[in-house]
Amino acid sequence: MIIYNVTCNVEHSVSEDWQQYMREIHIPEVMKFGIFISANMNKVLSRNDDGDTFAIQYKCNSMKDL
């Protein structure tokens, strides 16, 4: 199992809209390619006052799939 991780820092003022975009549009579009078997988005706890940090993890079976 391979996890392809993307970490994003998002300004507080657009965080809710960004999360909705990721859940409803971006992640489903990435999944349509058939490379990944699952995707998960999590908020990362940090002391960063510059915004909210999120980790999007896409899973695939092997490096060959990437």
Q: What is the predicted pLDDT for the residue at 49?
A: 80
Task: Note the residue count of the chain.
Answer: 66
Tokens coding 53:
């940090």
Alpha helices in 1-66 (DSSP H): 15-21, 27-31
Contact at 8 Å (CB) between 46 and 1?
no
Q: What is the predicted pLDDT for the residue at 66?
A: 84
Enumerate the domain spans of the chain: 2-65
Contact at 8 Å (CB) between 57 and 3?
yes
Q: Walk along the chain (66 residues) and give the pLDDT tens digit of each residue.
A: 999 999 999 999 999 999 999 999 999 999 999 999 999 999 999 887 889 999 999 999 999 988
Q: Quote the pTM value.
A: 0.88
